[in-house]
Structure 1
Amino acid sequence: MALHWMRRAWLVAASASALLLAACGGGTVDSQFSPDRVVAFGDAMGDLGQAGSRYTVNDGTVNNWTQFVASQYGRDLAPSAAGGLSYATGNARVTAKPDAAGNSGTRTVKEQIDAFLAGNKLGGNDLVMVSAGTSDVITQARLVLEGSQTQAEMQANLEQAGRDLAEQVKRLVSAGATHVVVAGPFNLGRSPWARQTASTGLMEAASTRFNGALLVALVDYGRTVLYVDAALYFNNQTADGGSDFSNRTEPVCTSVDAGPGIGTGNGQVNSSLCTTSTLVANANPAQYVFADRVYPTPRAHQLFGDYAKGRIRDRW
């Protein structure tokens, strides 16, 4: 068993290297790529307000990482519900239904891509961003916490979900995309939800399973696909001694949702309901990593977007 896990760890590391490093001869150069369009798919980590609000502090700023990246290229990115090219939708899973909050009407990532490709084409001057997997991790981890499935079943389901996301990325490449940025879930073992439920190990294993399967399935796509490591980035931001934030463990929002909200249980903070009027008393949201039990604050999104933009610049 130890040998099996060492082999798995080596394969995931090799896959990550293939997708993180430029596929054109080593060394970095100034970016020559300037997209004509930015298109996005995914879950709440990329939702720009399909239902009118975002999963962060809704303060009117550039408060989502995908929008931040688009803005760095001087490109607009708006939700498809408002006529834009971001199809990412809160609580959406990769291919499975219902969504993380139990809704069957939410478009999966596959269905988002279906909808885009039904009326659009992709080309070499498009930047496509896919930010998904968090809702699948939430769903599967919650089932374990509720006693509805075993941890082994969770891990198998998340490996399949990671492979499913890789297949959707491959669809985008087959449709003509040559610059696809993929971010899987960050390590939910570092989330307030994990701390509040004493399940840091469970959620770290869940996130790792998804990302590992995704990376292995995309190992041959390093020329057209760039993996932006959200798990590594947020691990650094939530580590003790991190300098960007003073509060790395608690939500800054107080906007409790009586319903299922973000999928972590009824009666919990839901950042899609959060504004500057629903914050912890005297709190500065710029000093917090998390808006709710799972999703980041505007500043955390912006910093991750800056990290992603740097990775894109270095690659293309």
Structure 2
Amino acid sequence: MAFNRTRWAALAATVVLAACGGGGGDIVPSPRVPFTSLVSFGDSLSDVGTYKVGTVAAAGGGKFTVNSASARIWTELLASDIKVPASCPAQTGLLPNVPGFTGAPVTNTPACTNYAQGSARVSNVFAPSSATLQAAPFNQVNIGLTAVPVTQQIAAHLAKTGGSFNGSELVTVMAGGNDTFMNINGVSAAAGGGAAAAGAAVAAGWPTATQQAVAAGGAAAVNAAATAAVTAMGQAGAELAGLVKTQILAKGAKYVVVVNLPDVSQTPFALAADAQTRALVNQMVTTFNSQLAAGLAGTATTVVQVDVYARGRDQTANPSRYGLSNVTTPACSTTSPANPLQGSSLACTTASTIPGDTSGFLYADSVHPTPLGHQLQNQFVKEQLAAAGWY
């Protein structure tokens, strides 16, 4: 199995997959449930500005989309629609070790309740372009994303609120994309064997036996890595469901939205790989989603599950139905001098997109949605909330 490692390196700052939302307009003008706030946990798809500091901010970036004064991601749009205070990042900061790239110290803002951070995994601290990979044995030079995992995000909120939710907030949870990337990176490295393969296995979170198997390299190592990747994704899905049940619902939350993973194999990121790798990526995603759904069985009265996997596949098959003109090409240019991150949506703006009209594009970069993609996601979430009688 051959995964394009060069492309993985180019995506180091592109840390989670694109959320493929849904069509349809506003269903009702206001929520039926009088929510008091929006509390969000997850990764870059829900991140409203954790890394909007230093060089990123100077470039006009800060969100994982095509940044502009009017660009909003789906959690921001949802907060407006349910008539609660605007979503703001609970933590900001960036810890780069790249020469000439400026970050900022980690700062917490107690009044803000969006804990989602670009590159965050469900529980593992080793994530794409994370500051944790700058230390030995990885010694990576990167932009230093804090990438606080969802387990710690939830714990931070509970510590701030005295250990509970008040029951009047709408809670959103969406994660797992970066688990996908770290696992597929482990598969990519396995064929070459040696210390690089073993290190990628450690970062992915695989057992010691698998780390030793991939260090040997060759076809057997790739097979062991592929098996480990699928297994790990299933475990991550089950773990996320467990967090929702034990750390959110059991702590008093009554209204929770859980968004599953879209089909990453249909993103520009995966389309650059071979068919075998795309099939593995799809297997990883579906395994995560099936375990997430199984773990949430019996929670239908308090949890709305949003199936962006199915909706995203329909968007790819029928783009015009959703007002999309392009579902395979990133809108952000990889060569624009206005983007210091070489095409990553984190620092992409309307001044650094490719020539032509990109207003109907689904993808900002190889995995993240454009503002239109976020609008579609928000609309789809509201459809599900309406079906539950919450909106």
TM-score by length of 2: 0.68
Name the amino acid aligned to 2:324.
F
> Given the alignment, which residue of 337, 351, 356 partners 1:277?
351
Contact preservation (8 Å) 1:134, 1:184: no
* Alignment match, 1:25: none
Shift of 1:31: 5.8
* Alignment match, 1:92: 120
Q: Deviations over 1:36-64 (max 9, x none)?
A: 11100100111111111111111122521
The worse-fitting range, judged by mean Cα deviation, of 120-129 and 144-153 is: 144-153
> Given the alignment, which residue of 131, 137, 142 partners 2:174?
131
Q: Partners in 1 of 2:35 and 2:244 — Cα distance? A: 18
TM-score by length of 1: 0.83
Determine if the alignment matches structure 1 residue 249 to structure 2 residue 328.
yes
Identity %: 29
Shift of 1:158: 0.4
* Alignment match, 2:285: 207
> Given the alignment, which residue of 53, 57, 70 partners 2:66?
57
Shift of 1:255: 4.6
Give aligned pairs, total.
Answer: 279
Q: Partners in 2 of 1:248 and 1:174 — Cα distance? A: 39
Shift of 1:176: 0.3
Contact preservation (8 Å) 2:122, 2:151: yes
* Alignment match, 2:98: none
Contact preservation (8 Å) 1:185, 1:230: yes
* Alignment match, 2:363: 290
The worse-fitting range, judged by mean Cα deviation, of 83-92 and 61-70 is: 61-70
* Alignment match, 2:17: none
SS of 1:39's equivalent in the other structure is: strand
Name the amino acid aligned to 1:197.
A
* Alignment match, 1:177: 253
Contact preservation (8 Å) 1:162, 1:213: yes
SS of 2:379's equivalent in the other structure is: helix
Q: Partners in 2 of 1:188 and 1:256 — Cα distance? A: 24
Higher-Rg structure is: 2
Contact preservation (8 Å) 2:171, 2:256: yes
The worse-fitting range, judged by mean Cα deviation, of 173-182 and 81-90 is: 81-90
Q: Partners in 1 of 2:330 and 2:264 — Cα distance? A: 14
In the TM superposition, 1:212-223 aligns within 5 A as 212-223=290-301
* Alignment match, 2:372: 299
* Alignment match, 2:316: 238
Change (3 A) 1:43 1:270: same
Q: Partners in 2 of 1:106 and 1:256 — Cα distance? A: 26
Shift of 1:102: 4.2
* Alignment match, 1:187: 263
Name the amino acid aligned to 2:327.
R
Change (3 A) 1:58 1:31: closer
Change (3 A) 1:117 1:101: same
* Alignment match, 1:153: 228
Shift of 1:277: 0.7
Change (3 A) 1:103 1:206: farther
Q: Deviations over 1:167-202 (max 9, x none)?
A: 111110011001000112211011001101223212
SS of 2:351's equivalent in the other structure is: coil
Shift of 1:139: 1.2
